[in-house]
Amino acid sequence: MQTIKKDIRSLTKEQIREFFVMQGDKAFRGNQVYEWLWSKGAHSFDDMTNISKETRILLEQHFVINHIQVDTMQHSNDGTIKNAVRLHDGLIVESVLIPTNTRTTACVSSQVGCSLDCNFCATARLKRMRNLAPDEIYDQVVAIDQESRLYHNRPLSNIVFMGMGEPLMNYPNVMKAIEKITSDEGLGMSPKRITVSTSGVSKMIKKMADDEVKFKLAVSLHSAIEETRNKIMPFTKSFPLPELREALEYWYRKTKSKITYEYVVWKGINDDKKAIDALVKFCKYVPCKVNIIEYNPIDDGEFQQADPTVIDAYITALNNAGIVAKVRRSRGKDIDAACGQLANKS
Ligand code: SAH
């Protein structure tokens, strides 16, 4: 019977050290291998040039390295790059490199497909196949860091968990990936440059606060009126706004970290005064800022971007209430790389 070999990157450094001790080797060998796996990004045991041939064969017999493969890269005319990433079991997720004058941001996926059902999002139409493993999330970041160095002559500066999936429905793996991204044994990035975006899974927001995480939180709000929110994001019936508010207040008490609300304004859905007033009121509960995201049409026209005058009305109302609000232009629309467009089309 063939046994399924374990992904060596699911082991901690200590477990790899123990493996070598069990094999009658030195624990130190584990440190070397660990460094190859994480800091040096080895794709195969053969890459580990300062490890003896016998040891590499031994590793081969016991483990695999489930490294991702960038299957295709699409370049937008605004400099955005979209990677279609093939996982070890053949499934595909997408990640995006978004360059500006001063920074490069990686937008990474946390699930294959998505657990949620936002009516305006193309990813939501894909079934959730599975959660990504920590190393599969980490590898997406490494791939974009390399592309940033290659195409923009600078390292990656920021990471947003705004690709496919709901990160808080894959919380343990997202946390492990962030630990690696921020640790000196991984990429050594500051957690302040990482933003995790959620549709508002209240109990997990509280859990993150309890875990005293140091990264930033964004919430896809889109409406501060329960009935409207339930209609466009049906799963939110399980996460009502008063509960979300309470979780966000808890988050701020514990972390003192401002929240970003993501908000799209659609014709006939949230483009009236009532919707604006509700958002302004909601924004007063916890220190925050608002990013108004341009709507990226995904198909039949059920959702349409609201008139620019309404967007202006939102910005004015928020600013008058002392809340910072900005309009975020979409990037990479021509290659279906913008918010809500990730759907493995190619
Ligand atoms: N599940 C998480 C992570 C995805 S982030 C979350 O919902 O926050 C992707 C962001 O793009 C979310 O704010 C989402 O609401 C928004 N979005 C989805 N579809 C969109 C579309 N068609 N146009 C613009 N933004 C969209």
User: Structure tokens of 63?
Assistant: 């483990």
pLDDT at position 159 is 98
Instruction: Identify which of 220, 260, 330 to mutate to test ligand 1's pocket (most ligand atoms within 8 A of the CB).
Output: 220
CA–centroid distance, 57 to ligand 1, in Å, is 45
For the chain, give every domain's residue range: 6-64, 83-335
Q: For residues 17 and 36, what is the distance between their CA atoms, to the nearest angstrom?
A: 14
| Residue 298 beta carbon below 6 angstroms from any ligand 1 atom | yes
Q: Write out the binding residues for S-adenosyl-L-methionine.
A: 165-166, 197, 220-222, 296
pLDDT at position 345 is 77
Q: What is the pLDDT of residues 206-259, one digit of tens each?
A: 999 999 999 999 999 999 999 999 999 999 999 999 999 999 999 999 999 999
| Residue 148 beta carbon below 6 angstroms from any ligand 1 atom | no
Closest ligand 1 atom, CA of 297?
22
Instruction: Identify which of 339, 342, 345 to mutate to test ligand 1's pocket (most ligand atoms within 8 A of the CB).
Output: 339
Residue nearest to atom 13 of ligand 1 (CA): 220
pLDDT digits (tens), the chain, 346 positions: 567 899 999 999 999 999 999 999 999 999 999 999 998 889 999 999 999 999 999 999 999 999 999 999 999 999 999 999 999 999 999 999 999 999 999 999 999 999 999 999 999 988 889 999 999 999 999 999 999 999 999 999 999 999 999 999 999 999 999 999 999 988 999 999 999 999 999 999 999 999 999 999 999 999 999 999 999 999 999 999 999 999 999 999 999 999 999 999 999 999 999 999 999 999 999 999 999 999 998 876 789 999 999 999 999 999 999 999 999 988 998 999 888 888 877 6
pTM of the model: 0.95
| Residue 340 beta carbon below 6 angstroms from any ligand 1 atom | yes
Instruction: Identify which of 264, 305, 341 to mutate to test ligand 1's pocket (most ligand atoms within 8 A of the CB).
Output: 264
Q: For residues 179 and 188, what is the distance between their CA atoms, to the nearest angstrom?
A: 9
The dotted CATH code for 83-335 is 3.20.20.70
CA distances, 244 to each of 132, 178, 196, 237 (Å): 25, 24, 16, 11
List phi, psi (to 5°) of 312.
-60, -40
Coil/strand/helix, residue 145: helix
Q: What is the pLDDT of residues 153-187, one digit of tens each?
A: 999 999 999 999 999 999 999 999 999 999 998 89
CA–centroid distance, 25 to ligand 1, in Å, is 49
Closest Cα to residue 79, out of 102, 95, 98, 101?
A: 98
| Residue 220 beta carbon below 6 angstroms from any ligand 1 atom | yes
Q: Write out the binding residues for [4Fe-4S] cluster.
A: 114, 118, 121
CA–centroid distance, 267 to ligand 1, in Å, is 17
pLDDT at position 185 is 87
Q: For residues 16 and 7, what is the distance between their CA atoms, to the nearest angstrom?
A: 12
Residues assigned a catalytic role: 94, 339
Where do runs of H (alpha helix) occur along the chain?
A: 13-22, 28-38, 53-62, 134-152, 171-182, 202-210, 226-232, 241-255, 273-283, 308-320
| Residue 339 beta carbon below 6 angstroms from any ligand 1 atom | yes
Residue nearest to atom 5 of ligand 1 (CA): 162
The dotted CATH code for 6-64 is 1.10.150.530
pLDDT at position 269 is 97
Coil/strand/helix, residue 204: helix
